[in-house]
Amino acid sequence: MTVTSRVKTPYQSFAENFSKVVNSDILTRDKVKIFSLQTGGGKSYFQGNEMPLVLKKAFKNCKYIFRLAPTREVSDDGTFDNVSNLSNNEYIFHYALDPREDTLKLPEQVPNIVCCYSITHHLFISQFDKLIKYAKDSILIIEEAHQFIGCADKGKQPYQQVTGYPTEFLAKSWDKIKKWRDINPRVIGFTATPTVHHTQQIPSLSDQFIICSDLVDLPQIAPFQSWLKNTYQYHFEKHQGRKSISSQIHNSLSSLFDQEEQLEKLKFEDPNIKSKLTSLYICGNVNGIWGCPLSEVKELITNYLVDDLGFDEGSKMIATMVEDGGGGCTIWDLEGNKNRVDEQTIIERLNDPNDALRFLIVVDRARSGINVPIFAQTVICRVRKPYEIRTYIPVQIYGRMVRINTGTGDLIRTRYQNNLMKYLDEYPDDYGVPIETVIETLKIANTFDIWYPHNPKSKKTWEESLIVFNDLYVNSAEVGIGWIYDYVGLENPSKKCVKHNELLADCPWCSKLVKINKRDDGIITLDKFFQ
């Protein structure tokens, strides 16, 4: 049954296209070159494990690779940690934590060395006068290019056209990048969600970018991601954030622990199973007009864990992330005691199957750089109200859910190349686990749910973003599970089931069962109820 080696993965196609582009005259065009691939497709892995060597071969004078990231959690994601492994008889690759004078002088001392830096846009701007001296011998990489250079034109109007919000845009990062590009046009951006400026969908925006790769077709990416199972639309009442989300919090927690219980039962047949799953909650600001504040989301989760499920108040199960000025990163026990930590600590503890931490609550965070494969759900606890609907930020948030979770910890990454085809081919024999058990585990662990708000007086930003997400970025659980059965050559038992498009759910106001509608794209709405 082993056919993995004969199938070109989306990652391989992306890597081949990248090499082709950078070895053409496109690399020297006076544009920022944008490369796209769905979240979880391997862009960050490529940047650390293949890209530096490809770039050095294409640009022999390259002595520095500067990777710019929007936040510390992205700049410190470990992309360049193992770049020295690319060193060979011709070239030496060195990861330098900071662009200090001693590391910047290394190319003068060591022939054919390439110094690789991963820094924030803030650091790049603050040290620009020093760094610009090295531009002609450098390649500039913009990670998460939908942020900071999602728009290249100053002013309220172009920024609104790109983001949806009429903020006075100063383009501080773009000004510096453009000066750099004028010296050396080898500037490359990576993102899963190109903006309307990147793609030139709005003619009035200046022509500053060139798209160098397309997203892969969804069926191709099914073996390399987690699948969307259920979406739940709920009514969010203005000024009533806590009331609006209370039952959604309850339902999400019940669902999560039910999935964990199912995985625990499967441990009898596969002792490698790690049953822990985690949740992501996206909150609003403190006044709660169109979003439930973080403090109230934390309180609702805490009350349910303690009062309904009987968890010990000393259990450190909740983490919060906000901007540093608003409290930074914190881990809480269920009694309200807290410890300040950094982002990486939270991510590591969320991923640790033996750590109690399960719930991450954020305000204006988790748009990128959060890599938690055991996320099983996200609950959106705020309404987005842009003047113009733009979907890329919500899609990025949804995209935190798509990393593969086989239910057996890191084995999929350390042994099976993050590839479900290889996993299904080899794991059952490697560990003596029946293929039926492997499939049942994947049905639970490799799926996720989304709760999102709706209000008739507000734009349907979350809903429209979910449609884009379904169309371009994620396979449904039905498709993913169907792919498994087709791949292993077993009959899919779900094909025998009668499909219903009319379902029942709890009313968001009175909790009575009401009719809901499941659309062809898998989105569940309350349209039937409102009609």
Contact between residue 408 and residue 269 where contact means Cβ atoms under 8 Å apart:
no
In a domain, 426, yes or no: no
Q: Are residues 254 and 129 in the same domain?
A: no
Closest CA to 234 of 498, 506, 51: 506
- The amino acid that residue 351 corresponds to is N
- Identify whether 100 is part of a domain: yes
pLDDT of res. 501: 45
Mean pLDDT value across residues 390-400: 93
How many whole angstroms separate alpha carbon 44 and alpha carbon 388? 30
Which helix H or strand E contains 330, and what residues bound it?
A: strand 329-332
Residues 413, 438: Cα–Cα separation, whole Å: 16
Q: Is residue 421 part of a domain?
A: no
If one compares 40 and 402, the residue with the highest pLDDT of the two is 402
Within a domain: 254: yes
- Tell me: the pLDDT tens digits for 184-241? 999 999 999 999 999 999 999 999 999 999 999 999 999 999 999 999 999 999 889 8
User: Both 163 and 245 in a single domain?
Assistant: no
> At 180, which amino acid appears?
W
Q: What is the pLDDT of residues 143-184, one digit of tens each?
A: 999 999 999 999 999 999 999 999 999 999 999 999 999 999
Residue 302's pLDDT is: 97
Q: Is 471 helix (H, G, I), strand (E, B) or coil?
A: helix
Same domain? For 203 and 253 the reply is no
324 CB-contact burial (10 Å; exposed 0-12 / middle 13-18 / buried 19+) = exposed
For residues 356 and 385, membership in a common domain is answered with yes
- Give the residue from 166, 197, 216 where a domain finishes: 216
Single-letter amino acid, residue 109: Q
Looking at the fold, whether 208 and 228 belong to one and the same domain comes out as no
List CB contacts of 391: < 8 A, sequence separation 6 or more. Answer: 193, 461, 464, 465, 468
Classified as helix, coil or strand, 82 is coil
195, 216, 237: which is the final residue of a domain? 216
* 435 domain-assigned: no
Same domain, 286 and 144: no
Q: What is the mean pLDDT of residues 449-477?
A: 94
Q: Which residue has the higher pLDDT, 41 or 263?
A: 263
Do 255 and 383 have their domain in common? yes
**Which pLDDT does position 41 carry in this prediction?**
87
Residues 212 and 257 in one domain: no
Query: Please, which residues have CB within 8 angstroms of residue 425's CB and are 6 or more apart in sequence?
Result: 1, 2, 3, 4
d(CA 71, CA 447): 28
> How is residue 215 annotated by DSSP?
P
Q: Tell whether 371 and 332 lie within a shared domain.
A: yes
Smallest CA-to-CA distance from 364 within 70, 69, 39, 40 is with 70
**Where a domain ends, among 216, 244, 272?**
216
Q: What is the pLDDT of residue 516?
A: 65
| CA-CA-CA-CA dihedral for 104, 109, 115, 120, to nearest 10 | -10
Say if 245 falls within a structural domain. Answer: yes
- In this prediction, residues 394-405 reach a mean pLDDT of 95
Per-residue tokens: 412:
């999929």
The pTM assigned to this predicted structure is 0.88
Instruction: Give yes or no: residues 38 and 156 share one domain.
Output: yes
Domain count, the chain: 2
Contact (Cβ atoms closer than 8 angstroms) between residue 50 and residue 15: yes
Residue 517 maps to a domain: yes
Asked if the model's pLDDT at residue 76 lies above 90, the reply is: no
Residues 195 and 262 in one domain: no
List the beta bridge partners of residue 187.
140
Q: Name the pLDDT band for 427 (thresholds 50, 70, 90).
A: very high
d(CA 424, CA 223): 10
Nearest-angstrom CA–CA distance, 418 and 224: 7
Residue 71, domain extent: 4-216
Q: Which of 135, 149, 150 is nearest to 182 (CA)?
A: 135
Place of tokens 């002088």: 105
Any domain includes 412: no
DSSP letter string, 143-195 = ESTTSSSS--S-SHHHHHHHHSS------HHHHHHHHHHHH---EEEEESS--
Supply φ then ψ for residue 478, to 5 degrees.
Answer: -60, -45
pLDDT band at 77 (very low <50, low <70, confident <90, very high): confident
pLDDT class of 1 with cuts at 50, 70, 90 = very low
49, 65, 228, 426 from 11: Cα distances, Å: 12, 22, 21, 20
The token duo for 75 is 């700049």
Supply the CATH number for residue 378's domain.
3.40.50.300
pLDDT tens column, 493-525: 877 554 444 455 555 555 455 666 666 666 666
Q: Are residues 344 and 271 part of one domain?
A: yes
Amino acid at 449: D
With residue 421 as reference, give the H or E element that holds it: helix 420-431
Angle, CA 158 vertex, CA 153 and CA 162 arms, to 5°: 105
Residue 19 predicted with pLDDT over 90: yes
